[in-house]
Amino acid sequence: MIKKSLSGLIFVLMMVSVPVFAGWQALPKVAPAPDNNPTTAAKVTLGKMLFMDPRISSTGTVSCNSCHNVMEGGDDSRTFSMGVHGQLGGRNAPTVWNAAFHSVQFWDGRVDLLEDQAKGPITNPVEMGEPDHDHTMVKIKAIPGYKPYFEKAFGRNSMTIDNLAKAIAAFERTLITPDSPYDKYVSGDKHAISAQQIRGMKTFAATGCTSCHSGAAFNGPSMDFGKGFYAKFPTFADNAYNKDYNLSADKGRQEATGKAADAHMFRVPTLRNITDTAPYFHNGSVNSLSEAVRIMAKVQLNKTLNDQEVSDIVAFLSALTGPYPEISMPRLPATTGISLFAGE
């Protein structure tokens, strides 16, 4: 009788401490980089300067950091980001933290690498508004202080748009947040997260959330660069959530490819640091993480969660927020007695 009771107790303890999904992974401590752009300290230093420099934009008012504020959650806390001349974009700015673990970039996956992503906003008329990349580099070359940084990172005669993008991408690959409570838990520290977070972890898996949000970054399985992991959103459109939050208005990847099969397909976003990146979804329509969890269960899995399940999942998601590395603001090279924006 005692032996049977002990066996039952051991089974209960195992159910409390062992999650139901076998694919839990800790976030790597170093982000992957393509062979043609290995990460170096010189590139990171230059890339941080360029990331913070609003002179890349046509008005001198918008930097990469304007929409992807690395001094906070890597986004701008807005429904839609504000670009040059106060224009608003059409999609919510995703966090740049842990973007290095995406196999494709942008919500619609229209480019493969961070290097390609870094070039896009510069000439987007709503975002940075530069007429072309040549014009951008004319301005950067007119700032004498940038030349030695480019040469240290890439060698002589290296002030090109490709190297500018490579430097920004190298900096972005340092923007990762391993060692979250979740990472410590799956690495063996069974006291790293609370009992509620463990329940939420199990509920997250049992509900089916891991069918899309798997892998170390909770953005799908590890894939080679350029082979994006996409999901249809919303999958179940016949519900009040879809109507109330206008989730089907954006055609997603179809707007990039023109293919009907890509309608409403989106790159699966990371759930890392999700507590710090409201509002949620591609259209920034949801301000509450609890509401976002309810919506995802319904529109993606056709399931209705009760209050306890929602609370537990939100608690688990909070365990995915890792310590942010300290970032100091760089001193940018001066324009040295000229204006890059005279008459504008």
Residues serving a catalytic function are: 127
- Which tokens is 155 given? 């060698």
Secondary element (H or E) of residue 201: helix 195-207
DSSP 8-state class, residue 283? T
Phi, psi of 247 (to 5 degrees): -75, -25
Residues sharing a CB contact under 8 Å with residue 329, sequence separation 6 or more, in sequence order? 52, 71
Name the residue among 306, 309, 311, 335 with its Cα closest to residue 54.
335
- Which tokens is 343 given? 């008459």
Would you report the helix, strand and coil content of the chain in percent, each value rounded to 5? 40, 5, 55
Surface-to-core class of residue 120, CB atoms within 10 Å of its CB (0-12 exposed, 13-18 middle, 19+ buried):
middle
Look up tokens 């109507």; give the residue.
Answer: 243
Residues sharing a CB contact under 8 Å with residue 36, sequence separation 6 or more, in sequence order? none
